[in-house]
Structure 1
Amino acid sequence: MTRRRNRKLDQWITFWSVPFFFNIFGLVFVPLSWMMPPRSPSASTPDIVAFMQSHNLLVACVLLTLAYGLAPVSNAVYLMQIKRMSVSPAFRYTLMTGAITGAIVGMLFPMFCFGLGAFRPGYSPAVLSMLYDFGYLAFIGSLGCFCVMWMAFGLAILLDTNNVLPKWLGYYTVWQYMTELMAAPVWINRSGPFAWNGLMTFWFTMVLYVSWQLVVYTCIYRSIKKQPESELDNADLSTVATDSRTGVTA
């Protein structure tokens, strides 16, 4: 007796790549480089130079370079669910484009800025300070990209009539990413709750984001489990075809 192939294996591989990617992401940005939690925008020049010339930054950037390809794989989790919804492909394309833009600005730019400081120890303190500002502003100040893409995800859930994901998740998603607009003041505030390391701009937003991510992936996990095999692009249609004479599914 032949073993029945799991036709959702590709989706499960994509799904479980997400926690793997975010664990590497957290390893790079926290214990390896200590880029996060964000350092002060008003840090002294000697502190900035010491941080930017840390050898750990090079190791962190190498790891992030190797793991960067998992970013589009993780976003495919959302795209596959939107494809099942009764909404325009425009929502899927918006999320895809926003994810590409956000990954470039929010991950590649900081990686190059911080890594370049460690790779070229001969840079002047003024150049290192500029790279320091550029890296943090790109990472935290570019959240408008993510706001638009996740708004598209939330609206797709709300407009969907196939009930792929629960409606309350759509409201939660829209509300959650409206809070990302609080990142805008990082461009004009160097201290206080709206600086890039501030209570509202970083800590409040991060708590909301992490809790939202956990809820979303729980819902997506359930959605993949409940998805009928007849919907799958890789389904063997001969196994789900209905006999026209008997009306019985083979």
Structure 2
Amino acid sequence: MTETRSIKLLIWCGPASIGLVLIGWMVCAGFLPPPTPTATGASLNAIWNDHPELKRLGMVLCIWGGCLYAPFTVAIAIMLRRGDPERLALPLAQAALGIFGTVFFTLNFLVLSSVAFRPEQAPEDLQAMHDLGFIMTFSPVAPFTLQYVLIALFIVSDESPNPSFPRWVGYANLWVAVLFVPACAIPFFKTGVMAWNGLLAFWIPVGVFVIWFVIMAIMMRKRLADEESAVRISTADSV
């Protein structure tokens, strides 16, 4: 397998990552919108006992999707350096943060899969595990926020003759990072826009997260396509 094909494979891990998570979370588990944080243990018991096998399948798909975030992060590091290979610190730092973020993007679903594994447990115990899983899913945005800030810093400061990404991609990453921040407040609120089912802590961060995957995957594929086109033209001219 050539290096270009290997990079394409890593890039495709991004759409596969968010796709598996959305299918597992929305279609299989049925957690869109999420259960309200004010739900009682008894009501949560009823939710988790409704097709628990589908919820288990959903969490398994989410775990696989979360794992694929790591190779996508590596692809970003590689593509950032295509325009300016001398700048190594920020691409590596964002990759480290992305790989660290993958831990939160998998362990949260593992916690929730344990809830689905034994949904008949006492309501108080189930509620505690449910709360842990949902807070772990939506609140630990710090590694992702820092990752996108570093991506933005690299792109907007790239003065190479042939930058890997247009400047607007950097600003898009910065906006995603800013819009993630309200989710940090999830442990403090059970109702309102800052709760884990609220506008600022759930709907906007989840929406921009999906958009981020689309932007980065498309722009990385475009960069590779441009490079391949340039190679073909150069080869044709030399013949």
TM-score for the superposition, normalised by structure 2 = 0.85
Counterpart check, 1:70 vs 2:72: no
C-alpha distance in 1 between matches for 2:22 and 2:139: 19
Q: Tell me the residue number matched to 2:91.
A: 92
Deviation larger for 147-156 or 60-69: 60-69
C-alpha distance in 2 between matches for 1:25 and 1:104: 14
Q: Which aligned pairs between 1:1-250 and structure 2 lie closer than 5 A?
A: 8-53=4-49, 54-86=52-84, 88-105=87-104, 107-121=105-119, 123-162=121-160, 163-227=163-227
CA RMSD of aligned residues (A): 2.7
C-alpha distance in 2 between matches for 1:156 and 1:176: 15
Instruction: Report the Cα offset of residue 195 of structure 1.
Output: 0.6
Instruction: Report the Cα offset of residue 183 of structure 1.
Output: 0.8
Q: Tell me the residue number matched to 1:236.
A: none
| 1:10/1:103 CA distance change after superposition, 3 Å | same
Instruction: Report the Cα offset of residue 199 of structure 1.
Output: 1.4
Q: Could you report, residue by residue, the CA deviation over 1:4-42 in whole angstroms, capped at 9, with x for unpaired residues?
A: x96622222222232223222111111101233321100
Contact 1:52 1:132 in 2 (8 A): no
Q: Percent identity?
A: 18
Name whichever structure is richer in helix by fraction: 2
C-alpha distance in 1 between matches for 2:36 and 2:155: 38
| 1:201/1:165 CA distance change after superposition, 3 Å | same
Instruction: Report the Cα offset of residue 249 of structure 1.
Output: 6.6
C-alpha distance in 2 between matches for 1:115 and 1:200: 26
Contact 1:157 1:169 in 2 (8 A): yes
Query: Runs of 5+ in structure 1 lacking a partner?
Result: 232-239, 241-247
3-state SS of 1:209 partner: helix
| 1:101/1:225 CA distance change after superposition, 3 Å | same
Letter in 2 for 1:206: V
Letter in 1 for 2:14: V
Deviation larger for 12-21 or 111-120: 12-21
Aligned residue pairs total: 231
Contact 2:98 2:144 in 1 (8 A): yes
